[in-house]
Structure 1
Amino acid sequence: MTALAPPSAFPSSVRVPALGADGMVTSSHPAISRTGAEVLATGGNAVDAALAMAAVAWLALPGQCGVGGDMFALVHEPGGQVEAFCGSGFGPDGGTPDRYAGAALLPRYGPLSVAAPGAVAALTALHAAGATRPLTELWEPAVRMATGGLPCTARTRDDIDRHRERLAANPETAAALLRDGRAPAVGTRLAQPELARSIAALARDPDALYTGTLAERAVEALAAGGAPFSGAEWAASGHVVGEAPLRGRYAGRNVYQTPLPTPGWMVVDQLAVCDGELRAGGTAPLPLGAEAVHWLAGAARIAFDDRYDRAGSDRPAPDRAGSPEALAEARERIRARDLPMPAGARPDGDTTSMVAVDGDGRAVGLIVSLAFTFGSGTTVPGTGIVLNNRLARGAYLVPGHPNEVRPRRRPLHTLNTWLVTDDDGRLLHVGNTPGGDGQVQWNVQLISHLLDQDADPQDAVDAPRFSVFPGSDAGDLGSAAELRCEDRLGPEVLAGLAERGHHVVRVGDGGGGGSAQIVSVDHRTGCLAGGSDFRQEGVALGV
């Protein structure tokens, strides 16, 4: 499948939301969406659909997610309750600051970049909290697809081609993804029988990844590669329970977000800084004007500065949304065009996200990742499981920093997902996007499009995108400030941003990054509307 052209290339009648009455799913790959839609159509609920979709994503988008990665989700129940599931693991217990003394950064790839995976633990907790079908049934489509092979898409071919030298360095990874040392052609079936057996085994016993045979193989392989894992931190990473989400307010609505170690608080704080400012000149059609983009970019820059200064996974998050004085200070800085210099966002799409909503009003926003594309590039021998490199991406080697690498301190994450309700607890919107440090910016933009501009979900995900760089990725600290803008913002807006002091970097009509997914609820008609980003190969499906 080839990537879609920018929406400007389509007649306006084509880019409309998908519609459904009994359920809706949306994702960045047709096979993922089809799997979720089939679960809903056969009587499963949104939790069932999301669990099945997540497993298929491991096969459909192997560069962006996998069994060896992490997962975060928000669940909205028909009664209005919202719960978060956060699955990310610890680095090695032997990974003390002294272990890395003298280094500026952790190795980006290989065994020393790995944190224990959290995805399977979080999916297991999600299953226990709300599924109606066994994991063996929900993950059977993924097992079947891994056995027979999914056709390689343009996105996966390009991911493999960009990273083929690194993938070739690991024999197990190379055998699964390369063909004669090269990226496979589009349409080539990528069968992964070892991974199929691993997924089937995990469906029967998810703990096997943390305390069983799979855990032993992973720890042994990592230790042989020099990573100081003991196995105890691996077992501790397998414990996930549902927890309270973050909640903020924007445009008179409730906005829920995932808690630490995710940057969900950054979305809540940016929205609080922008609340009431983006409608000041009336609701102009998308794209936004220069002043609105300046506000959104300024709020993002301040949030990243707060993150670097104070954020760690084991301490309270910064909270401008809860401080009128801090909000006033941020707004004054934006008005005065006095934005902080960056401490160090790389909007890479090495993550994927999905949404499922059922006819009862239950909704799941779910996001999964390997950190950088294909994670560490290290495959656990005999399993087909590629491990993440979240430790290298998320943890710092800055002495005394709240995000400094330490045993049993989870590295800070880029993943987050959100949903919006009214004051009666009714679901209005649920969405997410991959894209590294771009996520917290684009999610704010998406929510603003929906609530400030009254955009439908397809218009919101297709709107011109922009992001400040750098944010807080360990490898980007100290980079020069940029505002990366899609050209579709228009020459007047781009010139206006330069006049406001931004170093504008143009990235083409659709090169801003991400792959946003949204489902919205119209309570007047009972209809669901879904939008899937043209920047990747996804689709929204209603049932």
Structure 2
Amino acid sequence: MRRDFNVGRSAIYAENGAAATAHPMATLAAVDVLRSGGNAVDAAVAAMALLCVIEPQATGLGGDCFAIYSKGSSGKPIGLNASGRAPAAATVDWYREHGIDEIQVETPHAVTIPGAVDGWCRLIEDHGTKSIGELLQPAIRAAEDGFIVAPRVAYDWDKLTSKLALDPNTSARFLPGGRAPKVGERHVQPELAWTLKCVAKDGRNGFYRGPVAEDIVNRLRELGGLHTMDDFDASEPTYVEPISTTYRGHQVYEIPPNGQGITALIILNVLSGFDLTDPSLSLADRVHLLAEASKAAYLRRDALIGDPTMVDVPVERLLSAEEADRIRASISLDRAGTPAPVDPFVHSDTTYLTVVDKDRNAISFINSLFSGFGSGIMGPKSGVMLQNRGTSFRIKEGHPNAIAPRKRPMHTIIPAMLGKGDTMMMPFGVMGGHFQPVGHTNVVTGMLDLGLDPQDALAAPRSFAYDGELRLEATFSDAVAQDLQDRGHKVVRQEPVGGGQAIYIDHERGTLIAGSEPRKDGCAIGY
């Protein structure tokens, strides 16, 4: 499809390597690593560490990460699950005895053991070519010397002022002068620079043992948390085999549960039974079909997904043709179905990046604090903002996502990869909390059904059927909104949702085609 030069921006075409992130500085850092001889994994870790400084509302060392990695774009990719676990003392009974029936965001109980740094170090040790110490230098400089606050970062930061003010340590660092930094102002994080230097020197032990871990554990226990130094030392990422489905002759790979990637695969399985290229289908028809498939998939996610090492998750059944047929048979093109029950928590702050190098090593990489600035709790000496992944747990015995000692919660952040046969074609991902499976679906259907390139697929208007509403971005016309309202959807307008990156590998021409999210500050760069 020919690019419309009246709107948007072009995809990036390159030959030797490409990176796409949510911030220009991080994209440039990744390309610098590639041009200095590093591979895709080296570049991704350097960029992600930098994002943990310069995009602090979205991600941090106190969060988790997942990755899908393809070596040489040949054969099935591997997955890394570096999501954190609950403390060893966390049981449903303990929370009930203390009058807690729901884990709130701004509490120490929302903090699971951060898995991100462990994941970075494992990726570099097993698949990188440079040292973690070298790769953390851009992040250290940005934390120590300061960075210029970008527009979307400033916008999100300002909206979270009241949350940041709840914790005195957090407020002192992230509300200088009593307010959020404005766009174009410089912000420094000297405490975080110290922590990054500890990791640069001692690897994962610099974070999970010694003074950094002690600072975090002491603060959490001071607030009533159950965390211990043993919990931190026991942290360990896990290699997993990605799950997949076939859509229009291509394979879409996702991280298996405890992640929600299976939700995207269920949606795609349902939509595969409809011809989305049919010229008789209107835009409203396509939005409606996506909404109905999404509601069914999210219903199954909330009822069945948990840590597969502790509960039985029926992955095979959920991805079966019979399950897709069952859902498809319940969909009417004329009427909206019954909304699915949902997780009550709102969380959408994450950062995603992707890198492909000259040898066509490709990584799809995501890192998150969950809610904006996570739990809002910061280690006072380490400067580490701590995630709130524990809010996904249920205080309900027998539920797949019930909290338990060293259990991983159901996770929303999901990297993805598109392949065809044994050849990997495109690492991609879309941020946005619960929205992410729908965002993945948008990219895949936009490219494989509508012929869009990665940039246009990421920029296309977004809708999200969630919590009894059908949320439409302003880019949808009033006529489309009214059509959907007439079918029984509760239509509401929403701010731009999600953010994503993608790099398509055109193996036949030896070309990389990269796109970056226009709803964020970032960009794609290739060389």
CA distances 1:289-322 after superposition (whole Å, capped 9, x unpaired) = 2222122111111111111222211334344554
Q: Is structure 2 residue 504 aligned with structure 1 residue 520?
A: yes
Note the residue ranges of structure 2 that are not aligned, 5 or more in a row. none
- State how 1:50-61 maps to structure 2 within 5 Å: 50-61=44-55
The one of 451, 456, 459 aligned to 2:456? 459
1:280 Cα deviation from its structure 2 partner? 5.2
Partner of 1:37: 31
Structure 2 match to 1:88: 83
Distance 1:245 1:31 in 2: 30
**Per-residue deviation, 1:11:** 4.4
The match for 1:18 among 7, 12, 23 is: 12
Sort the Cα spacing of 1:373 and 1:532 in 2 relative to 1 into closer, same or farther, 3 A: same
The secondary structure found in structure 1 opposite 2:253 is strand
CA distance in 2, matches of 1:322, 1:529: 30
> Aligned-pair distance for 1:16?
1.1
Opposite residue 59 of structure 2, the aligned amino acid is C
| Residues 283/252 of structure 1: CA separation in 2 closer, same or farther (3 Å cut) | farther
Q: Secondary structure at the match of 1:180?
A: helix
| C-alpha separation in 2, matches of 1:133 and 1:310 | 40
1:428 aligns with 2:415: no
Judging changes above 3 Å, is the alpha-carbon distance between structure 1 residues 16 and 27 closer, same or farther for their aligned structure 2 residues? same
**Matches of 2:8 and 2:263, distance apart in 1:** 34
Quote the Cα distance in structure 1 between the aligned partners of 2:228 and 2:21.
37
| SS at 1:370 equivalent | strand
Q: Which amino acid aligns with 1:145?
A: A
**Residue 68 of structure 1 contacts residue 370 of structure 1 at CA under 8 Å; is this kept in 2?**
yes
Distance 1:157 1:77 in 2: 37
State the Cα deviation string for residues 239-296 of structure 1 (Å, max 9, x = none): 1142211121111011111122111111111111111414351598xxx722221221
Given the alignment, which residue of 196, 209, 213 partners 2:207? 209
- Aligned position for 1:390: 389
Aligned to 1:485: 472
* Superposed counterparts of 1:273-284, under 5 Å: 273-279=270-276, 281-282=278-279
Measure the CA separation in 2 of the matches of 1:417 and 1:138. 22
Separation in 2 of the partners of 1:501 and 1:332?
Answer: 18
Shift of 1:467: 0.7
Q: CA deviation at 1:121?
A: 0.9
Q: Where does residue 65 of structure 1 map in the other structure?
A: 59
Q: Taking structure 1 as reference, are residues 402 and 462 closer, same or farther at Cα in structure 2, changes over 3 Å only?
A: same
- Bigger drift between 293-302 and 313-322 goes to 313-322
Distance in 2 separating the partners of 1:142 and 1:338: 48
Aligned to 1:360: 359
Do 1:91 and 1:407's aligned partners in 2 also have CA atoms closer than 8 Å?
Answer: yes
Per the alignment, in what secondary structure is the counterpart of residue 402 of structure 1? coil
Q: Which whole-Å deviations, capped at 9, do the CAs of 1:398-421 have from their partners, x for residues lacking one?
A: 342111122222111110011111
Bigger drift between 24-33 and 206-215 goes to 206-215
How far did residue 72 of structure 1 move? 0.6
Residue 474 of structure 1 is matched in structure 2 by none
Deviation at 1:14, TM superposition (A): 5.4
- The 3 A distance-change label for structure 1 pair 348 and 97 is closer
Corresponding position: 1:317 with 2:313:
yes
Q: What residue number does 1:350 align with?
A: 349
Is 1:48–2:37 an aligned residue pair?
no
Aligned 8 A contact 2:65 2:82 in 1:
yes
- 1:232 Cα deviation after fit: 2.8
Q: CA deviation at 1:469?
A: 1.5
Letter in 2 for 1:295: L
Structure 1 residue 74 displacement after superposition:
0.6
Q: 2:475 aligns to what SS in structure 1?
A: helix
Distance 2:275 2:171 in 1: 49
What displacement does 1:338 show?
6.6
Deviations 1:186-213 (A, max 9, x none): 2221111221111121122212322333
Aligned residue for 2:367, secondary structure, equals strand
Q: Is the 8 A contact 1:63 1:159 kept in 2?
A: yes
For residues 11-52 of structure 1, the C-alpha deviation after alignment (integer angstroms, 9 at most, x for no partner) is: 437521011110111111111111001111222111111010
Are the aligned partners of 1:164 and 1:181 in contact in 2 as well (CA < 8 Å)? no
Distance 2:8 2:342 in 1: 40
The residue correspondences of 1:487-506 to structure 2 (distance < 5 A) are 487-506=474-493
Cα distance in 2 for partners of 1:166, 1:404 equals 26
> Please, which of 75, 95, 120 is the counterpart of residue 100 of structure 1?
95
CA-atom RMSD in angstroms: 2.1
Output the amino acid matched with 2:504. Answer: S
The 3-state SS of whatever aligns with 2:18 is strand
| Farther off after superposition, 126-135 or 497-506 | 497-506
Matched residue SS, 1:155? helix
Q: Secondary structure at 2:499's aligned position in 1?
A: coil
Deviation at 1:522, TM superposition (A): 1.9
Change (3 A) 1:110 1:104: closer
**Could you tell me whether the CA contact under 8 Å between 2:277 and 2:450 is conserved in 1?**
no
* TM-score normalised by structure 1 residue count: 0.91
- Contact 2:258/2:305 (8 A) holds in 1: no
Residue of structure 2 equivalent to 1:477: none
1:77-476 equivalence runs, <5 A: 77-78=71-72, 79-101=74-96, 102-205=99-202, 206-236=204-234, 238-279=235-276, 281-282=278-279, 289-314=283-308, 315-319=311-315, 320=317, 322-335=319-332, 337=335, 339-344=337-342, 348-392=347-391, 394-423=392-421, 425-470=422-467
The aligned amino acid for 1:65 is: T
1:278 to 1:155, Cα distance in 2 relative to 1, 3 A: same
Answer yes or no: is the 8 Å Cα contact 1:434–1:514 preserved in 2.
yes
Measured in 2, the distance between the counterparts of 1:247 and 1:323 equals: 11
Could you state the TM-score of these two structures normalised by the residue count of structure 2? 0.93
SS at match of 1:209: helix
Whether the 8 Å CA contact 2:291–2:464 is kept in 1: the answer is yes
Quick one: distance in 1 between partners of 2:239 and 2:82? 10
Q: How many residues align?
A: 516
For 2:331 and 2:100, how far apart are their aligned partners in 1? 36
Give the Cα–Cα distance (whole angstroms) in 2 for the partners of residues 500 and 180 of structure 1.
50
- Residue 478 of structure 1 corresponds to which residue in structure 2? none
Secondary structure of 2:340 counterpart? coil
CA distance in structure 1 between the aligned counterparts of 2:120 and 2:353, rounded to whole angstroms: 14
Unaligned runs of 5+ in 1: 1-7, 471-480
Measure, in 2, the Cα distance between the counterparts of 1:382 and 1:163: 22
